[in-house]
Structure 1
Amino acid sequence: MATTDRHATTLALAHALSAAERGLAVIPLSHSKLPALRSPHHEDPHPAAVCHGECGRPGHGVYDASADPLRIRELFAAAPWATGYGIACGLPPHHLIGIDLDTKSGTDASAALREIALRHLFTIPATVVVITPSGGRHVWLAGPPDAVVPNSAGRLAPGIDIRGAGGYLVGPGSRTEHGVYSTVPGTAHLPPAPCPPALLRLLTPPRRPPHHEHPHEPRLAPAPDPSHQRGQGLVQFVLAAHEGQRNTRLFWAACRAYENGMGEDLSPRLTDAAIRVGLTEREARSTIASAARLTGHA
């Protein structure tokens, strides 16, 4: 292995150990940003697809992630070609959520996030921000322990990917085939800031109501099936909103409608439903138009 590669591996290990000191669980990555250790089951006649490390061997991707310095050194010793490290999302103590703002999709992902923040009345707090070699940004946020944020690509808006439970972020200091990941000056030593509640609601699937509800508590409708009666479920989803949920539910429903090819047909019914739960016609039309833009249907 070349001296420069050994140097990159040494630096990656040092950065990974530093991240572990902050409670972040890490794994070694190759220069392609993929887990450096190959699955121990890749040659098995019947691969243990459901094995998440129970076999005791390394090579299970994010399931190998650890904040234990001894374990981290063992993982890097098994992958001397590693030039970076990944930080597992969704694990305690931070329950990390990564907002990946891409620059390669032909859209302004940062502007899209600002528009979403304005629409839903939240701001991104001061937190760790990592610059990618392509000029993108990874915004680190902390989630609550009881929320499971799924991974997604472009669901929130074109060019915005979400790294949640089962995903990982490339750690700052990692060297890849495209360059080095680094933190935005002044953010390296910040803790991951709590995810704004309004943003968290957009990132998590709508909660289904409990089996036994208090008779005086507002009932949340289950997440609708967009194919049900050509959008009737989405309309009912908006109609079930109460104060504090109306705009968020309308935006979510409109996005799902456009993604399923019925945005234009369903817009009048969604607008009417939004007006019935308390939004003005102007607010409803503006929110639906924003959903159309963010899903590429404007």
Structure 2
Amino acid sequence: MATIDRQATTLALAHALSAAERGLAVIPLSRTKLPALRSPHRDDPDPDPTSPPCHGACGRFGHGVYDASTDPRRIRALFAAAPWATGYGIACGLDPHRLIGIDLDTKSGTDSSAALRELALRHLFTIPETVVVLTPSGGRHLWLTGPPDVVVPNSASRLAPGIDIRGAGGYLVGPGSRTEHGVYGTAPGTAQLAPAPCPRELLRLLTPPPRTHHRAPPATGQHGQGLVQFVLAAHEGQRNTRLFWAACRAYENGMGPELTTALVEAAVRTGLTEREARSTIASASRMTFPRPGPPENDTTPRTARP
């Protein structure tokens, strides 16, 4: 059971309510920076891939970023349901700010700030003065806003090594949150700033080019489309699991090879790299159709496969 730090929870709630006053939708987070409330569907039987994900339609808490709100009463109710919460997350991509988070990481062994400066020089844009949140590990979160007609997806190191993007369906750890590694806080002189508009050239880099939509092969039918939609509905923390589950079902139903391209494209749209997606699908193929073992009378030592 989670340890309850009532003082940390009280401070997190106060910071969350303050953020909500600025029009930022929030959810409670645990010390691990994950949503504090578990999914109410965790004990449900295997989900039907043809059914749309709940996203809170059931009326219960525990749907991650889809619980996010600016309503003080709802926020208090969320924190009351998660008394172990020590932080809060700010949902990205929502009106009125349509927040975009530029996460400059320090754990990758690369200088992400230098990488961003290099991108700015190469593509002729300037990062404006905006809210900057300092992370306990020494990283920085830059807050920018996007236009209403552009959806910025989440990504990890796609823009450059060590630069993660928090867009629609993602969230940023809010300043004042306490985690296992320390407290998040705003950089001096930025707390009262409004998130600045994202420069046009940077926004172009953050938005993947429109994909050509290919008709699913006839053999996949409605079930295949349902598996693809199941993967597309994944948010951070679910992407590999959902892709693996969908790929297993595809191979079990004899349409794994035909559906691979569509599943890879769907996984990439959720934030996985193509290499990660293909590796997960290959694992599903091996799991569904394992290689035959040696004959029973064969005693030759075998090297274990990972």
TM-score, reference length from structure 1: 0.68
Equivalent of residue 169 in structure 2, options 156, 162, 166? 166
- How far the C-alpha of 1:4 sits from its partner, in A, is 7.8
Instruction: Give the Cα separation in 2 of the matches to 1:160 and 1:56.
Output: 35
- How far the C-alpha of 1:159 sits from its partner, in A, is 0.2
Question: CA 1:164–1:3 in 2, change beyond 3 Å: closer, same or farther?
Answer: closer
Determine if contact 2:136/2:181 at 8 Å carries over to the other structure.
yes
Instruction: Give the Cα separation in 2 of the matches to 1:151 and 1:41.
Output: 24
Determine if contact 1:101/1:109 at 8 Å carries over to the other structure.
yes
Question: CA 1:121–1:183 in 2, change beyond 3 Å: closer, same or farther?
Answer: same
1:146 corresponds in structure 2 to: 149
**Quick one: which amino acid aligns to residue 112 of structure 2?**
A
> Within 5 Å, which residues of 2 pair with 1:113-128?
113-128=116-131
1:204 aligns with 2:207: yes
Q: Which runs of 5+ in 1 are unaligned?
A: 210-258, 261-298
1:155 corresponds in structure 2 to: 158
Equivalent of residue 90 in structure 2, options 87, 91, 113? 87
> Within 5 Å, which residues of 2 pair with 1:9-88?
9-47=9-47, 50-88=53-91
Instruction: Give the Cα separation in 2 of the matches to 1:121 and 1:46.
Output: 49
> Within 5 Å, which residues of 2 pair with 1:246-257?
none
1:131 aligns with 2:122: no
**Quick one: which amino acid aligns to residue 204 of structure 1?**
T
1:103 aligns with 2:103: no
> Within 5 Å, which residues of 2 pair with 1:1-16?
5-16=5-16
- How far the C-alpha of 1:47 sits from its partner, in A, is 4.2
Determine if contact 1:112/1:157 at 8 Å carries over to the other structure.
yes
Instruction: Give the Cα separation in 1 of the matches to 2:124 and 2:101.
Output: 20
Determine if contact 1:89/1:96 at 8 Å carries over to the other structure.
yes
Number of equivalenced pairs: 211
The superposition leaves residues 136-192 of structure 1 with CA deviations (integer Å, 9 ceiling, x where unpaired) of 000000000110000000000000000000000000000000000000011011111
Q: The residue matched to 2:5 in structure 1 has which SS?
A: helix
Instruction: Give the Cα separation in 2 of the matches to 1:191 and 1:134.
Output: 24
Determine if contact 1:29/1:85 at 8 Å carries over to the other structure.
yes
Determine if contact 2:27/2:35 at 8 Å carries over to the other structure.
yes
- How far the C-alpha of 1:205 sits from its partner, in A, is 1.5
- How far the C-alpha of 1:3 sits from its partner, in A, is 10
Determine if contact 1:155/1:161 at 8 Å carries over to the other structure.
yes
1:247 corresponds in structure 2 to: none
Q: Which runs of 5+ in 2 are unaligned?
A: 213-273, 276-306
The superposition leaves residues 73-98 of structure 1 with CA deviations (integer Å, 9 ceiling, x where unpaired) of 00000000000000000000000000
Dislocated runs of 4+, deviation >6 Å: 1-4
Q: The residue matched to 2:136 in structure 1 has which SS?
A: coil
The superposition leaves residues 90-115 of structure 1 with CA deviations (integer Å, 9 ceiling, x where unpaired) of 00000000000000101000000000
**Quick one: which amino acid aligns to residue 176 of structure 1?**
T
Identity %: 84
Instruction: Give the Cα separation in 2 of the matches to 1:28 and 1:2.
Output: 14
The superposition leaves residues 27-55 of structure 1 with CA deviations (integer Å, 9 ceiling, x where unpaired) of 00000000000000001113477110000
User: RMSD between aligned alpha carbons?
Assistant: 2.0
Larger RCO (CA under 8 A, 6+ residues apart): 2
Instruction: Give the Cα separation in 1 of the matches to 2:8 and 2:70.
Output: 20
Instruction: Give the Cα separation in 2 of the matches to 1:208 and 1:156.
Output: 18
TM-score, reference length from structure 2: 0.66
Question: CA 1:79–1:2 in 2, change beyond 3 Å: closer, same or farther?
Answer: closer
**Quick one: which amino acid aligns to residue 102 of structure 2?**
I
Determine if contact 1:41/1:47 at 8 Å carries over to the other structure.
no
Instruction: Give the Cα separation in 2 of the matches to 1:176 and 1:182.
Output: 12
Determine if contact 2:2/2:84 at 8 Å carries over to the other structure.
no
Question: CA 1:9–1:47 in 2, change beyond 3 Å: closer, same or farther?
Answer: farther
